[in-house]
Every structure is written in C-alpha cells, then in structure tokens.
C-alpha cells in the first residue's frame, strides 16, 4: 500500500516583506528589535542542529497577528558537515541582495556565517525601509559591498579570479568608501555594531552571541520578548494516530521553525521539519 505524508501548515497571512511594503517609512526600533530577536532565535536553533537556511530574506519571515515571527521556506536549507569532513556546497543559493561575499565569489566551503550576513542585511532594511545592497547582478552586488566595506578579503579575491563565471572581468573597486555609519546616520549605533556584516566570515558574529548583544539586553528587552512569544503547549490529541488504519493517519507538524525555545529533538521531527536521518530532505 502506498504511504503518504500530509503536512499541515499554520496559516500566517503576512511576511516581513509585506509589512515593509505597506509601511510608508521605516519600522520603529522596538519593532525591529522584536522581529530580529525572534528570527535570531530561530536561526540559532537551526545552527545548533548544524542546519543552515541559506535564503533568509524579508519574504521568508512570517509575522502572525500577535507579532510572533516564524522563519519559513527551507528549500535551500541543508545540514553541514563538520570542519574535519570538509563539506562543499553549491554557491547558487540565497537571494542576491542578501548573499554574503563568499557566496558571490563562488566559495563552495562556507557555513553558518552566510545566514548571519543575511540577517544583517534584513536589519538595515527594517531600519531604513530600503534594501541595503540592491545589486542587479552578482558583479554589481560585489560593487555595492566593496563601496561600503572596502576590498574583499585576499581569499575572496583569489576565488573571484579563479571563478570561470568572472573570466576576463576585473574585480570592482571603489575610490571612496561610504561606511554604514555615514550612510545611515540616523540608525542607532548599537544596531550597526552587531558584527553581522563582516567581510571575513571567520570574524562574523554567531547567532548565540548576537542574542546577548546590547541591542537586546540593555533594557531587558530580550527577556520580555522571549516571554511574550513563547506559545502555550498544544492540547493533547483527541485520537491516538497509532490506532488508526494507515490510510487514515495524517501528521500535522508545524513545519516552521519558530522563535520559541524548544527542547532538543530526539525523534524524527527536528526543528519543525521532517527529518529522515539521511539528509534527503535537506
């Protein structure tokens, strides 16, 4: 008999992109902190399970009517190998505006920092109501980044010139750097000090450290948000699925990775996503 899995999604009718498009100006600082803190908790949970999302952007951040944020669309997500195993991955991931420098130059040995870079881009977009690096090609995207932070790292420059995609192309240069502090003088300094947008992925902040950043802890903001966004436990099911015929069974997990704390998963539903134990769904 053919078996089928039924995934039932929670309905959330708006995304962060919707909110940014409907808002005539930037989001206020407290709203930005509330949204970013919850997304950080979701991404931190993924990273603790050695899963990278690889497509964090406003369109993939859901916001409920109660202000609870959920990270969705795990089409590009996958588990990552340990450093000793030396895993390699495709660089054709992430939406261009939120792509880290290592992805743009074609690095195939990247990891969790690509998600952190995207989070930094999303934060600035929330605070300014405009994309941080709106490049119209990968080369133009690199130019936007270099114009803000200076030259790529030596390793990334080497990868750029070895990449056949850029054969015969000169690496973008900028005679005058316009740093974030100058470009966004009205953005609070603590928001620009998150260390998400470091050119070198090795010194980019980790999500666990970002959750303890002054932006969230200076007024116990992190504690109040954590309490308000932790859902109540679901009611016990009325029917034991194991006693139903196989043709009548359905699974109804929440397949979004929520910002709420969850115990370490020991069964087959890890972080809200079905996991086969073979990485086939990553």
Residue 244 to residues 18, 71, 251, 259, Cα–Cα distance (Å): 41, 32, 12, 33
The two structure tokens encoding residue 169: 């192309």
**Percentages of the chain per state (helix, strand, coil), in multiples of 5:** 40, 5, 55
d(CA 142, CA 152) in angstroms, rounded, equals 9
Task: Let me know if 55 is a catalytic residue.
Answer: yes
DSSP one-letter string for 263-275: PPP-SSEETTEE-
**Which token pair is 202?**
């090795």
**Cross-sheet strand order for the sheet of 61-63:** 61-63, 69-71, 257-258
Burial class (CB in 10 A: 0-12, 13-18, 19+), 35: buried
CB 56 within 8 A of CB 43: yes
**Using an 8 Å Cβ cutoff, are 52 and 103 in contact?**
no
Rounded CA-CA distance 76/67 in Å is 26
Provide the 10 A C-beta neighbour count for residue 210: 24
Q: Which of 13, 28, 55, 138 is catalytic?
A: 55
Interior CA angle at 265 toward 261 and 267, to 5°? 150
Q: Which residues are catalytic?
A: 55
């Amino acid at each position: 008999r053919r078996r089928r899995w039924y995934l039932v999604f929670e309905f959330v009718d708006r995304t962060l992109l919707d909110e940014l498009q409907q808002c005539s100006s930037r989001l206020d600082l407290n709203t930005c902190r509330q949204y970013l803190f919850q997304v950080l908790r979701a991404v931190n949970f993924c990273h603790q399970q050695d899963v990278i999302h690889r497509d964090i952007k406003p369109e993939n951040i859901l916001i409920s009517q109660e202000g609870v944020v959920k990270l969705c669309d795990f089409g590009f997500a996958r588990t990552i190998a340990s450093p000793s195993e030396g895993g390699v991955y495709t660089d054709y991931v992430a939406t261009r505006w939120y792509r880290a420098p290592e992805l743009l130059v074609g690095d195939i040995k990247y990891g969790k920092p690509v998600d952190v870079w995207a989070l930094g881009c999303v934060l600035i977009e929330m605070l300014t109501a405009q994309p941080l690096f709106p490049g119209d090609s990968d080369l133009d995207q690199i130019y936007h980044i270099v114009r803000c932070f200076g030259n790529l790292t030596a390793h990334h420059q080497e990868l750029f010139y070895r990449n056949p995609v850029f054969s015969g192309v000169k690496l973008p240069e900028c005679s005058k750097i316009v740093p974030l502090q100058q470009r966004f003088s009205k953005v609070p300094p603590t928001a620009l000090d998150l260390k998400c947008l470091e050119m070198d992925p090795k010194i980019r902040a980790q999500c666990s450290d970002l959750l303890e950043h002054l932006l969230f802890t200076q007024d116990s903001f992190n504690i109040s948000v954590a309490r308000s966004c932790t859902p109540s436990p679901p009611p016990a099911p009325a029917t034991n699925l194991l006693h139903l015929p196989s043709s009548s069974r359905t699974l109804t997990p929440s397949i979004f990775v929520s910002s709420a704390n969850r115990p370490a998963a020991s069964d087959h539903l890890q972080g809200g996503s079905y996991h086969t134990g073979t990485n086939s769904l990553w």
